[in-house]
Amino acid sequence: MRKIILIALLFASAAVYAQKFEGLAKTPPMGWNSWNRFTCNVNEKLIREAAEAMVSSGMKDAGYIYINIDDCWHGTRDSLGFIHPDSSRFPSGMKALGDYIHSLGLKFGIYTDEGWMTCGGKPGSRGHEYQDALTYAKWGVYYLKDDYCYTENLNPQGAYMTMRDAIYATKRPIVLSICMWGNGCETWAKDVGHLWRTTGDIHPAFDLPRTKGDESPLGVLQILDYQKGLRKYAGPDHWNDPDMLEVGNGMPVNEDRAHFSLWCMLAAPLIAGNDLFNMSKETGEILKNTEVIAVDQDTLGIQGFIYSSNGSLEVWAKPLVDGDWAVCFFNRGLKEENVNFSWKQNTVLDSLTNKVLNPGKDKYSIRDLWLHKNTGTTEKDFNAVIPSHDVVMLRLKAQN
């Protein structure tokens, strides 16, 4: 009876609050999620070891803080409707697991679904939002990924607002990650969640044209193309989410590097999805490149954009703090590209923010973020040969 009364009080208080917690994601969230590599094969041992590896590998020091369990952790609901974890997979319970993750200086995240069932066929949160939010708060959850399978004719905005209000009613600040695969949610999601998916599911492939409509997994190139027109919706505490990272999950190093660079140019959440315990040196060097991460985590919170496109060569630009700019030369084609770019003849205007990169007027020093070295100034043209599916990523700093 006490639990039922508490739920009723939560409903009443939600009508007063009716908002999301502000300030939880001033820069794009960084962490790790179990799905891309382990799908439904999750258990307590795996998550503990992932948290330990996050620390020992140096990922935590690079800025990754969330350890998120995705689908299939669920057991059943009790007679009052409260969800419990699968006791055979999580024998110590989620509170103990969360406490262990927190003892390592990390933050515990979990997964649910707005429908009757999760995408993996486990109990969803529909009709149980306030109970589930209360349960997650008791477990010490900091991050909630909220999927959208088995929702029938449910109104998505209303559904996610209900979960938002349920979280707020617990008085525990929890990042809400909306996962309804785009479908126009960016037009209303800013006041509901802290990040929202802009596409269908990513796949560990660079170029994977759709063959089955929206249900097909998408490659890096396809997801990139879906980001056009969305940057106006992104900013501190409200981010476009082009899905989790596939770095380290089977693509060549050059494609992993390009994938990571472009997600950083997009100011995307950086949620790794690789095997943290068996991470190669090359994967670690990509995921832990703090100079590239700094572009993603820039406090201006401006999403990058394509400045120019010529055949297979795209030039991306992103305004940064203190008048700096990130510029990424991206070869999306199958052959290497010779680049000759005159800084002085290219003035980059961001029409969304009115930020201007004008090397014809101002002199900028250049830092190569993958080579980790200074490479001169914008007084000279930029020349490079960029292999297929690779990038050169630069940071420009105005000289006084």
Tokens of 99: 């406490």
Q: What is the rounded (10 degree) CA torsion for 346, 222, 395, 397?
A: 50
Say yes or no: 131 and 238 in one domain. Answer: yes
Residues 6+ apart with CB under 8 A from 210: 216, 218, 222
Task: Tell whether the model's pLDDT for residue 11 goes beyond 80.
Answer: no
Q: pLDDT per residue over 252-269, tens digit each?
A: 999 999 999 999 999 999
d(CA 254, CA 55): 26
Say yes or no: 261 and 316 in one domain. Answer: no
Say yes or no: 287 and 318 in one domain. Answer: no
Predicted local distance difference test score (pLDDT) of residue 217: 81
As a whole number, mean pLDDT of residues 272-287 equals 97
Q: Can you say how many angstroms the Cα of residue 367 is from the centroid of all Cα atoms in its chain?
A: 25
The mean pLDDT of the chain is 94
Say yes or no: 281 and 349 in one domain. Answer: no
Q: Domain containing 377 — which CATH number?
A: 2.60.40.1180
Task: Please say whether the beta carbons of 340 and 348 come within 8 A.
Answer: no
d(CA 81, CA 86): 15
Say yes or no: 358 and 234 in one domain. Answer: no
d(CA 39, CA 120): 9
Q: Can you say how many angstroms the Cα of residue 161 is from the centroid of all Cα atoms in its chain?
A: 21
d(CA 302, CA 298): 8
d(CA 53, CA 42): 16
Catalytic site residue 147? Answer: yes
Predicted local distance difference test score (pLDDT) of residue 183: 84
Radius of gyration of the chain (CA): 22
Number of folded domains in the chain? Answer: 2
Predicted local distance difference test score (pLDDT) of residue 326: 98
Say yes or no: 163 and 234 in one domain. Answer: yes
Say yes or no: 272 and 312 in one domain. Answer: no
Q: Can you say how many angstroms the Cα of residue 267 is from the centroid of all Cα atoms in its chain?
A: 9
Task: Tell whether the model's pLDDT for residue 5 goes beyond 70.
Answer: no
Q: Domain containing 212 — which CATH number?
A: 3.20.20.70
Task: Give percent of the chain with pLDDT exceeding 90.
Answer: 91
Q: pLDDT per residue over 184-205, tens digit each?
A: 899 999 999 999 999 999 999 9
Domain limit, last residue, from 296, 322, 353: 296
Q: pLDDT per residue over 59-113, tens digit each?
A: 999 999 999 999 999 999 999 999 999 999 999 999 999 999 999 999 999 999 9
Selection from 146, 138, 62 nearest residue 106 by Cα: 62
Q: Can you say how many angstroms the Cα of residue 333 is from the centroid of all Cα atoms in its chain?
A: 25
Query: If pLDDT is split at 50, 70 and 90, which confidence band does 15 have?
Result: very low
d(CA 299, CA 282): 28
Q: pLDDT per residue over 211-241, tens digit each?
A: 655 556 899 999 999 999 999 999 999 999 9
Residues 6+ apart with CB under 8 A from 213: none
Say yes or no: 174 and 29 in one domain. Answer: yes
CA angle (94 as vertex; 89, 97 as ends), nearest 5: 90
| Backbone CA torsion sign across 169, 174, 175, 179 | negative
Domain limit, last residue, from 296, 320, 341: 296
DSSP 321: G
Query: If pLDDT is split at 50, 70 and 90, which confidence band does 14 have?
Result: very low
Say yes or no: 317 and 282 in one domain. Answer: no
d(CA 116, CA 167): 19
DSSP 119: T
Maximal C-alpha separation, the chain = 75
d(CA 336, CA 19): 49
Say yes or no: 248 and 319 in one domain. Answer: no
Say yes or no: 125 and 212 in one domain. Answer: yes
Task: Tell whether the model's pLDDT for residue 36 goes beyond 50.
Answer: yes
Q: pLDDT per residue over 41-66, tens digit each?
A: 999 999 999 999 999 999 999 999 99
Catalytic residue among 71, 146, 147, 390: 147
Task: Give percent of the chain with pLDDT exceeding 70.
Answer: 94
Q: Which domain holds residue 337?
A: 305-398
Catalytic site residue 241? Answer: no
Domain limit, last residue, from 296, 323, 338: 296
Catalytic residue among 201, 275, 362, 368: 201
Predicted local distance difference test score (pLDDT) of residue 168: 97
Say yes or no: 250 and 312 in one domain. Answer: no
Q: Which of 12 and 177 is assigned the larger pLDDT?
A: 177
Task: Please say whether the beta carbons of 77 and 88 come within 8 A.
Answer: no
Query: If pLDDT is split at 50, 70 and 90, which confidence band does 209 have?
Result: confident
Exposed/middle/buried for residue 355 (C-beta within 10 Å: 0-12, 13-18, 19+): middle
